[in-house]
């Protein structure tokens, strides 16, 4: 869909800016006018991780005058496989601070605003109101619905991307001119149905592919060049090198942007998305042990004074990376289908663990529902390795 320019042009470009952006200026569709619009633009990037890294770097290189970064996390070594805005020396540092340094190195003409608080319903409207458009680099459904609803209420365009393993998606949502995110996804998936990148993995370079599409769409919106992805979903399969498009239509019954919207203010999005299922939350509350408890239990089992079965509920590729000695492997999916229960002893306590505790809590609900005496390990194998086997890898 072709749209008029989102941002008015700045007054002028300096000699240094003309030299820097010369390859833009000689594109007829961009030219001086388009570059001045980029200079005058205020873009907010939610997250400085996998998608936020290439997005921020290319927005800066393109000459967007003001970049906002919402990020409260710190750089972890496992981020470096895909979050290219950070380097090895940044491990343990604020992602926001690290990203700002990289942006400033790329383009010192860019004003960088850091927002290091966690984005939620109490601050989204105030933060978003300061910018022309929002680029979403998040990886969870609760934040996506929050970003969408705030953009709808404020009339802001929302440049969205999503990545998982070899698969990526991108689109533009803007309720004033087309569909919003809720028109495509009216309801979040059931909790635990869609694994996160931390659980399922992501091809590092996929972040660059989708992040660059997001930046392309942002530049087109700011300058009014070309046809935007508004009303279209771009689907990318990196493994098969296949791009396809799906038409998205505005839903007249959409609760956010339809004819009679019911979302008139921001809500509790973690509750809306069921981030922690009620059944799993109940199980976690009463049947969670620490890694120190597990260590004591394993010592007792080795001494012959206690017997139980320790079960790893992760995926096979995770099991091959690292595991707790003396554990058995039954993936979470087999607990949800019931197949696991044929493999578990009825006369022993079952202790479940995963990477960090989320999936083992879900498996615990299923096991207790089938009548097993079961508990799970809070913090999972990452906590175990940190406390007892630091020579083993975490991921």
Q: Is the pLDDT of residue 199 over 80?
A: no
Q: 85 and 156 in one domain?
A: yes
Start-to-end Cα distance in the chain: 41
d(CA 30, CA 50) in angstroms, rounded, equals 28
74 shares its domain with 121: yes
From 197, 207, 257, 273, the catalytic residue: 197
- Could you tell me if 259 and 290 lie in one domain? no
369 lies in a domain?
yes
Same domain for 135 and 90, yes or no, is: yes
Residue keyed to tokens 């260590």: 295
Q: At residue 300, does pLDDT exceed 90? A: yes
**pLDDT score at 281:** 54
pLDDT at 283 over 60: no
pLDDT at 394: 87
Residues 293 and 226 in one domain: no
pLDDT band for 1, please (50, 70, 90 cuts): confident
Residue 190 has pLDDT above 80, yes or no: no
Verify that 173 and 35 share a domain, yes or no. Answer: yes
Which residue from 235, 197, 172, 238 is spatially nearest to 83, judged by alpha carbons? 197
What is the structure's pLDDT at 193? 63
Residue 320: inside a domain, yes or no?
yes
The predicted-structure confidence for 160-186, as pLDDT tens digits, reads as follows: 999 999 999 999 999 999 999 999 999
Query: Is 354 marked active-site?
Result: yes
Whether 6 is covered by a domain: the verdict is no
Q: What pLDDT, on the 0 to 100 scale, is given for residue 9?
A: 98
- Determine the pLDDT at residue 280: 56
Bridge partners for 234 per DSSP: 170, 245
Spot the catalytic one: 151, 183, 273, 354. 354
Band of pLDDT at residue 287, cut at 50, 70 and 90: very high
- Please check whether residue 168 is in contact with residue 212, taking contact to mean a CB–CB distance below 8 angstroms: no
Residue linked to tokens 């459904």: 141
Residue 227 lies in a domain: yes
Per-residue model confidence (pLDDT) at position 144: 97
5 part of a folded domain: no
User: What CATH number should be reported for the domain holding residue 369?
Assistant: 3.40.250.10
* Predicted local confidence at residue 273, as pLDDT: 84
* Whether 205 and 63 share a structural domain: yes
Contact 111, 68 (CB under 8 A): no
Does residue 306 sit in the same domain as residue 163? no
Residue 382 pLDDT level (bands cut at 50, 70, 90): very high
43 plus 87 within the same structural domain? yes
What pLDDT score does 275 carry?
58
Count of Cβ atoms closer than 10 Å to residue 105 Cβ = 10
Establish if 7 belongs to a structural domain: no
What is the four-CA torsion angle of 360, 364, 370, 372, rounded to 10 degrees? 110
pLDDT digits (tens, 9 = 90+) for 105-145: 999 999 999 999 999 999 999 999 999 999 999 989 999 99
Number of domains in the chain: 2
Q: For residues 269 and 288, state if they share a domain.
A: no
Residue 301 sits in the same domain as residue 381: yes
Percentage with pLDDT > 90 across the chain = 89
What predicted TM-score, i.e. pTM, was given to this entire model?
0.81
Average pLDDT taken over every residue of the chain: 94
Does residue 131 fall inside a structural domain? yes
Closest CA to 198 of 52, 312, 281, 78: 78
Listed residues 216, 244, 273: the one ending a domain = 273
Domain boundary residue, one of 273, 296, 318:
273
pLDDT surpassing 70 at residue 191: no
Strand ordering across the sheet containing 158-164? 111-115, 66-70, 42-46, 133-136, 158-164, 167-173, 232-237, 242-247
pLDDT single digits (tens) 42-89: 999 999 999 999 999 999 999 999 999 999 999 999 999 999 999 999
Q: Comparing C-alpha atoms, which of 271, 269, 277 is closest to residue 145?
A: 269
Q: Is the pLDDT of residue 349 over 90?
A: yes
Instruction: Assess if residue 197 is contained within a domain.
Output: yes
Task: Average the pLDDT over 364-368 and give the result.
Answer: 92
Dump pLDDT digits (tens) for 201-242: 899 999 999 999 999 999 999 999 999 999 999 999 999 999
Question: What is the model's pLDDT at position 310?
Answer: 98
Same domain, 355 and 249: no
The three-state (H, E, C) secondary structure of 30-43, written as one string: CHHHHHHHHHHCEE
The residue segments making up the domain with residue 333 are: 278-388
**Res. 314 pLDDT band, cuts 50 70 90:** very high
Residue 285 predicted with pLDDT over 80: no
Final residue of a structural domain among 273, 300, 318: 273
């Amino acid at each position: 869909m072709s749209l008029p320019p989102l941002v008015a042009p700045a007054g002028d470009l300096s000699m240094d800016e003309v030299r820097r952006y010369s390859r833009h200026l000689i594109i007829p569709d961009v030219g001086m006018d388009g570059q001045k619009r980029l200079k005058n633009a205020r873009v907010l990037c939610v997250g400085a991780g996998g998608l936020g890294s290439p997005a921020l770097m290319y927005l800066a290189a393109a000459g967007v005058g003001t970049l906002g970064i919402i990020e409260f996390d710190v750089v972890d070594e496992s981020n470096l496989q895909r979050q290219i805005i950070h380097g090895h020396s940044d491990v343990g540092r604020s992602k926001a601070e690290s990203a700002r340094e990289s942006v400033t190195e790329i383009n010192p003409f860019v004003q960088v605003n850091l927002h290091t608080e966690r984005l939620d319903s109490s601050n989204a409207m105030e933060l978003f109101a300061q910018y022309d458009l929002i680029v979403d680099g998040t990886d969870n459904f609760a934040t996506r619905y929050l970003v969408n609803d705030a953009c709808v209420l404020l009339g802001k365009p929302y440049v969205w991307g999503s990545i998982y393993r070899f698969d990526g998606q991108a689109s533009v949502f803007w309720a004033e001119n087309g569909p919003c995110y809720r028109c495509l996804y009216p309801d979040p998936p059931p909790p635990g149905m869609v694994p996160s990148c931390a659980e399922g993995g992501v091809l590092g370079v996929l972040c660059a592919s989708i992040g660059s599409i997001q930046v392309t769409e942002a530049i087109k919106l700011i300058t009014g060049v070309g046809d935007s992805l508004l009303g279209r979903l771009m689907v990318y399969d990196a493994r098969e090198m296949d791009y396809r498009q799906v038409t998205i239509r505005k839903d007249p019954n959409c609760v956010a942007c339809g004819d009679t919207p019911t979302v008139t203010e921001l809500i509790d999005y973690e509750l809306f998305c069921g981030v922690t299922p009620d059944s799993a939350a109940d199980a976690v509350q009463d049947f969670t042990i620490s890694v120190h408890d597990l260590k004591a239990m394993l010592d007792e089992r080795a001494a012959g004074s206690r017997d139980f079965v320790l079960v790893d509920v992760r995926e096979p590729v995770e099991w091959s990376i690292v595991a707790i000695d003396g554990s058995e492997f039954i993936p979470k999916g087999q607990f949800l289908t019931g197949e696991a229960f044929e493999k578990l002893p009825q006369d022993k306590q079952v202790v479940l663990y995963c990477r960090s505790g989320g999936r083992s809590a879900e498996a615990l609900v299923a096991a207790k529902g089938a009548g097993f005496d079961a508990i799970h390990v809070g913090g999972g194998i990452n906590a175990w390795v940190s406390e007892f086997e630091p020579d083993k890898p975490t991921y």
